[in-house]
Homo-oligomer: A and B are copies of this chain.
Amino acid sequence: MATNMEKPYVVGMDIGGTNTVFGIVDSRGTVLASDSIKTHQFEKVEDYVDAVCERMRPLLEQFGGSDKIKGMGVGAPNGNYYSGTIEFAPNLPWKGIIPLAAMFEERLGIPTALTNDANAAAIGEMTYGAARGMKDFIMITLGTGVGSGIVINGQLVYGHDGFAGELGHVIVDKEGRICGCGRKGCLETYCSATGVARTAREFLVARSEPSLLRNVPAEEIQSKDVYDAAVKGDKLAQDIFEFTGDILGRALANFIAFSSPEAIILFGGLAKSGDYIMKPIQKAMEDNVLNIFKGKTKILLSQLKDADAAVLGASALGWEVKEN
């Protein structure tokens, strides 16, 4: 991280379908100030960028203005690192290819880099979190979907087009569940929070035993309900995690054959379901990994605090931005 006294801060921004959060971060990974804005209220991207900048300027002034900022990192769905654009992002209101990094640079005078949110999380983990000092690791984000950021030789893997690292869309069962991407059997149809809820609904129909989950209307079941039931000793709920962890662990075994990472770091609500999910993940991974890799790759939990993680992850990219 190239910090210096003249430009001691970075800005991190995370653009989600619902909220955009941003903050000013120092070199130790402390979020000094932050704010947020609703993403979806702006039909025109120009209005959105103007509004974000208007909210950001007072924060910047508190810390000496944009001259004190080394760079800004933005995490956004379908973010292309090479071009600084977001491209055809299905969950954002703006269509086509949007040169978002350039738009912020112009308005704020801060060099800006952009990538997708899971890549930003990986850089955040490498800069401030569980992957400090690691040169080879894979970050897996288990949220509404499954995202990933891959680091090899100390560098984030962007691929030839800027979009590498879509491990949530590795197909794990060619006759499997329909995915939002239009294909079948993607990892994220099983191992996201949504996937866990889907498994719960399937299990409740396929099995006849009693379960606390039968008290929740089927369409309203969330992965949190499954966790709560598992903690209360509900066997069906525990089996849902077993099933989910087994699929994820097998997928991780295949990922290890690709890049032989020192660690796989899990981030997101599901990862916090404790041993209910971690034990089956670990077991399926070790049972299915090629002999030469056995016992070598650690599974770790993210060390970024939830509330700060999105801003911190994106901000880490700010340290690496090249000035024009």
Contacts and interface: CB of A to CB of B under 8 A. Distances in A.
A98 to B, nearest CB: 15
A95 interface: no
A156 to B, nearest CB: 9
Nearest to A257: B166
Interface in A261-301: 261-262, 288, 290-293, 296
A13 to B, nearest CB: 22
A261 B167 CA distance: 14
Q: How many copies does the complex hold?
A: 2
A250 B157 contact: no
Interface bin, chain A: 35 or more
A160 B134 CA distance: 9
Given A155-B153, A174-B250, A290-B181, A259 B166 contact: no
B136 A160 contact: yes
B170 A257 contact: yes
Given A174-B250, A182-B291, A290-B183, A167 B257 contact: yes
Contacts of A253: 171
A219 interface: no
A291 B87 CA distance: 12
Q: Which of A167, A257, A260, A262 has the most B CB atoms < 10 Å from its CB?
A: A257
Given A136-B159, A153-B155, A164-B260, A254 B182 contact: no
A290 B166 contact: yes
Contacts of A166: 257, 290, 292-293
Interface in A235-265: 250, 253-255, 257-262
Interface string A141-169: 00000000010110101111111111101
Contacts of A257: 165-167, 169-170
A284 to B, nearest CB: 10
Contacts of A250: 171, 174
Given A134-B160, A171-B288, 4 more contacts: A87-B292, A135-B160, A152-B157, A157-B258
21 contacts: A135-B160, A136-B160, A153-B157, A157-B258, A158-B260, A159-B261, A161-B293, A161-B296, A162-B260, A163-B292, A165-B257, A165-B259, A165-B260, A166-B257, A166-B290, A166-B293, A167-B257, A169-B257, A174-B288, A181-B291, A254-B254
